[in-house]
Amino acid sequence: MGATSGQGRQAGGTPRAAMADLLAGNRRFVSGQPVHGHDVTAAAAASGDQQPYAVVLGCIDSRVPLEAIFDQTFGAICVIRTGGHVLDRAVRGSIEYVVGQLGVPLVMVLGHERCGAVQATVEALRIGQRPGGSLAHLVDEIAPAVTEAGIDDPAVLPLAIRRHVRRTVRTLRQDDLLAGPVATGRVAVVGGLYDLATGEVALLDPG
Ligand SMILES: [Zn+2]
């Protein structure tokens, strides 16, 4: 497992090392040579403690299983998934816990192409009808990114997906309990985008 035992693979490592390990895992996945893909067994699950080195917040989309696309084994990363990686108090509290209590140095927000949650928000804004129930929370949270991208822009979906990742990153960087460690460099919050066609994760600049 030498390929995966980088410096970042532990709480208290640096954000840079954690990012390198995460992206190395994605490259293994893309190349069709995952180290852990074959080892999704109860024995592997029971083999150790958790020492996560990153927390990834992604979408519920069934095509984007986060541990798989980063080729991570049990205990390596914490994963949070909501529709369109929308934040709420439970999500923020979970990230605060992982960063504050488990000492994790890296938070990645991962959007993906053709996101149904963003598409649903585009459609809701186009017809001017807010959905009922708690679905409205998702639309409300994604709507500013769609408006910024321009509802009439033919490329509104890919543009809004990127803006929504960046907005989510900015919100987390300003979070009450995250802003301090982010300011000192102990923790990094970064945005990424998953390509459904290639399996590749690309980092997004802050924009
Ligand atoms: Zn999605």
pTM of the predicted model as reported, rounded to 2 decimal places: 0.90
Q: What is the pLDDT of residue 7?
A: 41
Q: What is the pLDDT of residue 49?
A: 79
Rounded to an integer, what distance in angstroms lies between the CA atom of residue 133 and that of residue 124? 14
Q: What is the pLDDT of residue 39?
A: 64
CA proximity to 21, closest of 68, 54, 51 = 54
Does 207 have pLDDT greater than 90? Answer: no
Q: What is the pLDDT of residue 43?
A: 73
How many angstroms is it from 46 CA to the middle of ligand 1?
31
DSSP state for residue 54 in the 8-state scheme: E
CA proximity to 9, closest of 43, 40, 37, 48 = 48
- The sheet with strand 54-59 has its strands ordered as 77-82, 54-59, 106-112, 188-194, 201-204
181 three-class SS: helix
93 three-class SS: helix
How many angstroms is it from 102 CA to the middle of ligand 1?
27
How many angstroms is it from 184 CA to the middle of ligand 1?
32
Q: Are strands 188-194 and 201-204 parallel, antiparallel or unpaired?
A: antiparallel
How many angstroms is it from 87 CA to the middle of ligand 1?
13
How many angstroms is it from 159 CA to the middle of ligand 1?
14
| Mean pLDDT, rounded, for 30-48 | 78
What is 111-122 written as a DSSP string? Answer: EETT-HHHHHHH
DSSP state for residue 47 in the 8-state scheme: S
How many angstroms is it from 45 CA to the middle of ligand 1?
27
How many angstroms is it from 71 CA to the middle of ligand 1?
20
How many angstroms is it from 21 CA to the middle of ligand 1?
24
How many angstroms is it from 15 CA to the middle of ligand 1?
25
Residue range 151-192, pLDDT digits in tens: 999 999 999 999 999 999 999 999 999 999 999 999 999 999
Residue range 137-153, pLDDT digits in tens: 999 999 999 999 999 99
How many angstroms is it from 30 CA to the middle of ligand 1?
20
Helix 135-149 with 116-127: angle, nearest 10 deg: 80
Distance between first and last Cα of the chain: 36
Q: Do residues 87 and 138 touch, judged by C-beta distance below 8 A?
A: no
- H/E segment holding residue 59: strand 54-59
